[in-house]
Structure 1
Amino acid sequence: MLANVNVTKLFPAAYKAQMAVEEAVEEAITVAGVDRLTVDLVKLRASQINGCAFCLRMHTQDALKNGETADRLALVAAWWESQYFTPEEQAALTIAEQITRIGDLHTAAAPKVDVESILDAKQIAALTWVAIAINSWNRIAISSHYPVAP
Protein backbone atom coordinates (compact mmCIF):
# COMPACT_ATOMS: atom_id res chain seq x y z
CA MET A 1 0.00 0.00 0.00
CA LEU A 2 1.25 3.44 -0.89
CA ALA A 3 1.89 5.91 1.92
CA ASN A 4 -0.84 8.52 2.37
CA VAL A 5 1.25 11.48 1.23
CA ASN A 6 0.12 14.11 -1.27
CA VAL A 7 3.23 14.55 -3.40
CA THR A 8 1.84 17.59 -5.21
CA LYS A 9 1.41 19.57 -2.00
CA LEU A 10 4.78 18.63 -0.54
CA PHE A 11 6.77 19.37 -3.70
CA PRO A 12 4.83 21.98 -5.68
CA ALA A 13 7.77 22.66 -8.02
CA ALA A 14 7.56 19.11 -9.37
CA TYR A 15 3.80 19.57 -9.88
CA LYS A 16 4.49 22.83 -11.71
CA ALA A 17 6.95 20.98 -13.96
CA GLN A 18 4.28 18.36 -14.71
CA MET A 19 1.90 21.19 -15.64
CA ALA A 20 4.55 22.52 -18.04
CA VAL A 21 4.72 19.07 -19.65
CA GLU A 22 0.93 19.14 -20.01
CA GLU A 23 1.10 22.54 -21.73
CA ALA A 24 3.77 21.28 -24.15
CA VAL A 25 1.65 18.19 -24.88
CA GLU A 26 -1.35 20.42 -25.65
CA GLU A 27 0.81 22.35 -28.11
CA ALA A 28 1.96 19.09 -29.75
CA ILE A 29 -1.67 17.98 -30.12
CA THR A 30 -2.53 21.23 -31.87
CA VAL A 31 0.52 21.17 -34.17
CA ALA A 32 -0.15 17.53 -35.11
CA GLY A 33 -3.85 18.19 -35.71
CA VAL A 34 -5.04 15.45 -33.38
CA ASP A 35 -8.78 15.52 -32.70
CA ARG A 36 -9.75 16.46 -29.13
CA LEU A 37 -12.03 13.42 -28.71
CA THR A 38 -9.14 11.16 -29.71
CA VAL A 39 -7.03 12.75 -26.98
CA ASP A 40 -9.86 12.19 -24.49
CA LEU A 41 -10.00 8.51 -25.49
CA VAL A 42 -6.25 8.08 -24.96
CA LYS A 43 -6.41 9.69 -21.52
CA LEU A 44 -9.43 7.62 -20.57
CA ARG A 45 -7.94 4.30 -21.73
CA ALA A 46 -4.63 4.82 -19.92
CA SER A 47 -6.53 5.80 -16.78
CA GLN A 48 -8.65 2.64 -17.06
CA ILE A 49 -5.57 0.44 -17.32
CA ASN A 50 -3.91 2.21 -14.40
CA GLY A 51 -7.06 2.20 -12.27
CA CYS A 52 -6.98 5.94 -11.59
CA ALA A 53 -10.45 6.89 -10.38
CA PHE A 54 -9.64 10.62 -10.23
CA CYS A 55 -8.50 10.74 -13.85
CA LEU A 56 -11.27 8.42 -15.05
CA ARG A 57 -13.91 10.76 -13.68
CA MET A 58 -12.17 13.88 -14.99
CA HIS A 59 -11.56 12.58 -18.51
CA THR A 60 -15.01 11.02 -18.81
CA GLN A 61 -16.50 14.42 -17.93
CA ASP A 62 -14.14 16.13 -20.40
CA ALA A 63 -15.09 13.71 -23.17
CA LEU A 64 -18.80 14.23 -22.57
CA LYS A 65 -18.32 18.03 -22.63
CA ASN A 66 -16.41 17.64 -25.92
CA GLY A 67 -19.32 15.76 -27.50
CA GLU A 68 -18.43 12.12 -26.83
CA THR A 69 -21.33 9.69 -26.48
CA ALA A 70 -22.10 7.43 -23.54
CA ASP A 71 -22.23 4.46 -25.95
CA ARG A 72 -18.63 4.95 -27.07
CA LEU A 73 -17.40 5.70 -23.56
CA ALA A 74 -18.92 2.45 -22.38
CA LEU A 75 -16.83 0.56 -24.93
CA VAL A 76 -13.41 2.17 -24.49
CA ALA A 77 -12.23 -0.66 -22.21
CA ALA A 78 -12.85 -3.15 -25.06
CA TRP A 79 -12.50 -0.83 -28.05
CA TRP A 80 -10.98 -3.53 -30.31
CA GLU A 81 -14.14 -5.63 -29.90
CA SER A 82 -16.40 -2.95 -31.38
CA GLN A 83 -16.89 -1.07 -34.63
CA TYR A 84 -17.40 2.26 -32.82
CA PHE A 85 -13.92 3.66 -33.27
CA THR A 86 -12.30 5.09 -36.41
CA PRO A 87 -8.96 3.77 -37.66
CA GLU A 88 -7.31 6.94 -36.25
CA GLU A 89 -8.87 6.37 -32.85
CA GLN A 90 -7.86 2.69 -32.91
CA ALA A 91 -4.29 3.72 -33.68
CA ALA A 92 -4.36 6.26 -30.84
CA LEU A 93 -5.79 3.69 -28.43
CA THR A 94 -3.07 1.25 -29.50
CA ILE A 95 -0.46 3.87 -28.61
CA ALA A 96 -2.16 4.42 -25.24
CA GLU A 97 -2.04 0.70 -24.49
CA GLN A 98 1.57 0.30 -25.64
CA ILE A 99 2.85 3.22 -23.56
CA THR A 100 0.77 2.35 -20.50
CA ARG A 101 1.84 -1.29 -20.60
CA ILE A 102 5.41 -0.55 -21.65
CA GLY A 103 6.79 -2.65 -18.78
CA ASP A 104 5.01 -5.82 -19.78
CA LEU A 105 4.67 -5.55 -23.55
CA HIS A 106 6.63 -8.73 -24.02
CA THR A 107 3.94 -10.70 -22.15
CA ALA A 108 0.72 -8.86 -23.09
CA ALA A 109 -0.95 -9.27 -26.45
CA ALA A 110 -1.43 -5.86 -28.05
CA PRO A 111 -4.27 -5.20 -30.45
CA LYS A 112 -3.21 -5.58 -34.08
CA VAL A 113 -3.41 -2.07 -35.47
CA ASP A 114 -0.91 -0.77 -38.03
CA VAL A 115 -0.45 2.64 -36.41
CA GLU A 116 2.10 3.89 -38.96
CA SER A 117 -0.24 3.31 -41.90
CA ILE A 118 -2.98 5.36 -40.22
CA LEU A 119 -1.21 8.24 -38.46
CA ASP A 120 1.68 10.43 -39.56
CA ALA A 121 4.86 10.79 -37.50
CA LYS A 122 3.72 14.02 -35.80
CA GLN A 123 0.41 12.49 -34.80
CA ILE A 124 2.16 9.39 -33.44
CA ALA A 125 4.60 11.55 -31.49
CA ALA A 126 1.87 13.83 -30.11
CA LEU A 127 -0.30 10.89 -29.05
CA THR A 128 2.71 9.18 -27.47
CA TRP A 129 3.27 12.33 -25.41
CA VAL A 130 -0.42 12.35 -24.42
CA ALA A 131 -0.04 8.76 -23.19
CA ILE A 132 3.19 9.54 -21.33
CA ALA A 133 1.66 12.59 -19.66
CA ILE A 134 -1.56 10.88 -18.60
CA ASN A 135 0.41 7.97 -17.17
CA SER A 136 2.37 10.48 -15.10
CA TRP A 137 -0.84 12.15 -13.94
CA ASN A 138 -2.34 8.76 -13.04
CA ARG A 139 0.67 7.95 -10.92
CA ILE A 140 0.54 11.36 -9.22
CA ALA A 141 -3.19 11.06 -8.44
CA ILE A 142 -3.03 7.43 -7.31
CA SER A 143 0.07 7.83 -5.15
CA SER A 144 -1.31 11.04 -3.60
CA HIS A 145 -4.69 9.43 -2.90
CA TYR A 146 -6.65 12.19 -4.62
CA PRO A 147 -10.18 12.02 -3.25
CA VAL A 148 -12.95 10.84 -5.57
CA ALA A 149 -16.37 11.27 -4.06
CA PRO A 150 -19.77 11.73 -5.68
Structure 2
Amino acid sequence: MNAKVRRLTREQVYKIQPALSQSLIRLGEAATSSLPKSLTHLIRIRVSQINGCAFCLTMHSQEARRDGEDQARLDVLSAWREAHCFDQQEKMALLLAETITHIGDQQLPDGVYAEVTAVFSEQELVNLIACIIEINSWNRIAITFRF
Protein backbone atom coordinates (compact mmCIF):
# COMPACT_ATOMS: atom_id res chain seq x y z
CA MET A 1 0.00 0.00 0.00
CA ASN A 2 1.34 3.39 -0.98
CA ALA A 3 0.04 5.82 1.64
CA LYS A 4 0.50 9.52 0.98
CA VAL A 5 2.67 11.26 3.56
CA ARG A 6 1.40 14.66 4.64
CA ARG A 7 4.17 17.25 4.56
CA LEU A 8 4.24 20.67 6.16
CA THR A 9 4.44 23.61 3.78
CA ARG A 10 7.17 26.25 4.08
CA GLU A 11 4.61 28.66 5.47
CA GLN A 12 3.50 26.16 8.12
CA VAL A 13 7.06 25.36 9.20
CA TYR A 14 8.01 29.00 9.66
CA LYS A 15 4.70 29.83 11.33
CA ILE A 16 5.18 27.01 13.84
CA GLN A 17 8.79 28.04 14.50
CA PRO A 18 9.38 31.62 13.30
CA ALA A 19 12.77 31.84 15.02
CA LEU A 20 14.06 29.21 12.62
CA SER A 21 13.92 31.38 9.52
CA GLN A 22 14.48 34.65 11.37
CA SER A 23 17.70 33.47 12.98
CA LEU A 24 19.08 31.99 9.76
CA ILE A 25 18.22 35.18 7.86
CA ARG A 26 20.04 37.26 10.49
CA LEU A 27 23.03 34.91 10.44
CA GLY A 28 23.20 35.10 6.66
CA GLU A 29 22.96 38.88 6.62
CA ALA A 30 25.67 39.24 9.26
CA ALA A 31 27.94 36.66 7.66
CA THR A 32 27.74 38.03 4.15
CA SER A 33 27.93 41.74 4.99
CA SER A 34 31.71 41.80 4.60
CA LEU A 35 32.08 39.19 1.84
CA PRO A 36 31.80 39.83 -1.90
CA LYS A 37 28.27 39.08 -3.09
CA SER A 38 29.58 36.96 -5.97
CA LEU A 39 31.52 34.81 -3.51
CA THR A 40 28.50 34.17 -1.30
CA HIS A 41 26.46 33.18 -4.35
CA LEU A 42 29.11 30.65 -5.36
CA ILE A 43 29.23 29.21 -1.84
CA ARG A 44 25.47 28.90 -1.54
CA ILE A 45 25.14 27.27 -4.94
CA ARG A 46 28.04 24.85 -4.46
CA VAL A 47 26.84 23.72 -1.02
CA SER A 48 23.33 23.28 -2.39
CA GLN A 49 24.74 21.17 -5.25
CA ILE A 50 26.53 18.90 -2.78
CA ASN A 51 23.45 18.58 -0.58
CA GLY A 52 21.12 18.06 -3.54
CA CYS A 53 18.80 20.89 -2.57
CA ALA A 54 16.88 21.80 -5.73
CA PHE A 55 14.91 24.53 -3.95
CA CYS A 56 18.04 26.41 -2.84
CA LEU A 57 19.87 25.74 -6.13
CA THR A 58 17.06 27.34 -8.08
CA MET A 59 16.78 30.34 -5.79
CA HIS A 60 20.50 31.07 -5.43
CA SER A 61 21.28 30.50 -9.12
CA GLN A 62 18.58 33.01 -10.06
CA GLU A 63 19.92 35.50 -7.50
CA ALA A 64 23.48 35.06 -8.78
CA ARG A 65 22.46 35.68 -12.38
CA ARG A 66 20.36 38.66 -11.34
CA ASP A 67 23.43 40.10 -9.59
CA GLY A 68 25.55 39.69 -12.71
CA GLU A 69 27.16 36.28 -12.27
CA ASP A 70 28.25 34.79 -15.58
CA GLN A 71 26.26 31.68 -16.54
CA ALA A 72 29.45 30.06 -17.85
CA ARG A 73 30.93 30.09 -14.32
CA LEU A 74 27.75 28.61 -12.87
CA ASP A 75 27.88 25.89 -15.53
CA VAL A 76 31.30 24.69 -14.32
CA LEU A 77 30.92 25.38 -10.62
CA SER A 78 30.82 21.71 -9.66
CA ALA A 79 34.17 21.32 -11.46
CA TRP A 80 35.75 24.45 -9.97
CA ARG A 81 39.10 22.72 -9.38
CA GLU A 82 39.54 22.14 -13.11
CA ALA A 83 37.91 25.36 -14.31
CA HIS A 84 40.14 28.39 -14.96
CA CYS A 85 37.49 31.04 -14.34
CA PHE A 86 37.71 31.10 -10.52
CA ASP A 87 40.31 33.16 -8.68
CA GLN A 88 42.37 31.92 -5.73
CA GLN A 89 40.05 33.40 -3.11
CA GLU A 90 37.00 31.80 -4.73
CA LYS A 91 38.79 28.45 -4.95
CA MET A 92 39.74 28.57 -1.28
CA ALA A 93 36.18 29.51 -0.29
CA LEU A 94 34.80 26.62 -2.34
CA LEU A 95 37.36 24.23 -0.83
CA LEU A 96 36.30 25.32 2.65
CA ALA A 97 32.61 25.09 1.75
CA GLU A 98 33.00 21.53 0.47
CA THR A 99 35.10 20.46 3.45
CA ILE A 100 32.66 21.89 6.01
CA THR A 101 29.66 20.46 4.15
CA HIS A 102 31.28 17.01 4.46
CA ILE A 103 32.51 17.67 8.03
CA GLY A 104 30.81 14.52 9.34
CA ASP A 105 33.34 12.48 7.40
CA GLN A 106 36.38 14.08 9.07
CA GLN A 107 37.64 17.12 10.92
CA LEU A 108 38.73 20.19 9.00
CA PRO A 109 42.23 19.21 7.83
CA ASP A 110 45.07 21.48 8.94
CA GLY A 111 46.18 21.84 5.32
CA VAL A 112 42.79 23.17 4.23
CA TYR A 113 42.75 25.59 7.15
CA ALA A 114 46.25 26.82 6.28
CA GLU A 115 45.35 27.32 2.60
CA VAL A 116 42.19 29.23 3.44
CA THR A 117 43.78 31.47 6.08
CA ALA A 118 46.46 32.45 3.55
CA VAL A 119 43.85 34.31 1.48
CA PHE A 120 41.22 35.39 4.03
CA SER A 121 41.49 37.63 7.09
CA GLU A 122 40.27 36.33 10.45
CA GLN A 123 37.01 38.29 10.10
CA GLU A 124 36.48 37.04 6.55
CA LEU A 125 37.18 33.47 7.66
CA VAL A 126 34.64 33.60 10.48
CA ASN A 127 32.03 35.16 8.18
CA LEU A 128 32.79 32.64 5.44
CA ILE A 129 32.27 29.75 7.86
CA ALA A 130 29.05 31.33 9.14
CA CYS A 131 27.80 31.64 5.53
CA ILE A 132 28.62 27.96 4.90
CA ILE A 133 26.83 26.90 8.09
CA GLU A 134 23.84 29.07 7.16
CA ILE A 135 23.31 27.56 3.70
CA ASN A 136 23.86 24.03 5.00
CA SER A 137 21.11 24.70 7.55
CA TRP A 138 18.71 26.04 4.90
CA ASN A 139 19.46 23.02 2.69
CA ARG A 140 18.67 20.60 5.48
CA ILE A 141 15.40 22.34 6.28
CA ALA A 142 14.32 22.45 2.63
CA ILE A 143 15.31 18.83 1.99
CA THR A 144 13.76 17.51 5.20
CA PHE A 145 10.42 19.21 4.60
CA ARG A 146 10.66 18.62 0.83
CA PHE A 147 10.24 22.23 -0.20
For structure 1, the residue ranges without an aligned partner over 5 or more in a row are: none
2:27, 2:134 within 8 Å by CA — same for their partners in 1? Answer: no
1:71-118 deviation digits (Å, cap 9, x = unpaired): 000111010111111111111111211111111136xxx989811100
Structure 1 counterpart of 2:44: 43
The partner residue of 2:8 within 6, 9, 13 is 6
TM-score (norm 2): 0.84
What TM-score, normalized by structure 1, do the two folds share?
0.82
Q: What corresponds to 1:26 in structure 2?
A: 29
- Structure 2 residue 93 is matched with structure 1 residue 92: yes
Could you say what secondary structure the match of 2:81 adopts? helix
Aligned residues: 139
2:14–2:20 Cα contact (<8 Å) kept: no
Instruction: Answer yes or no: is 1:141 the counterpart of 2:142.
Output: yes
Within 5 A, what are the aligned runs for 1:59-74?
59-74=60-75
**Counterparts in 2 of 1:5 and 1:116: CA distance versus 1, 3 Å:** same
The letter of the residue matching 2:100 is: I
Q: Which residue of 1 aligns with 2:130?
A: 129
Paired letter, 1:79: W
- Please tell me the residue identity of whatever aligns with 2:82: E
TM-aligned CA deviation for residue 28 of structure 1: 2.9
Name the SS of the counterpart of 2:118 in structure 1.
helix
* 1-structure distance, mates of 2:13, 2:27: 24
Secondary structure in structure 2 of the residue aligned to 1:81: coil
In the alignment, is the contact (CA less than 8 A) between 1:88 and 1:119 conserved in 2?
A: yes
Distance 1:73 1:98 in 2: 20
Paired residue type of 1:29:
T
Q: Give 5+ residue unaligned stretches, structure 2.
A: none
Asked if the contact 1:94–1:113 (Cα under 8 Å) also holds between the matched residues in 2, the reply is: no
CA distance in 1, matches of 2:66, 2:88: 23
Residue 83 of structure 1 is matched in structure 2 by 84
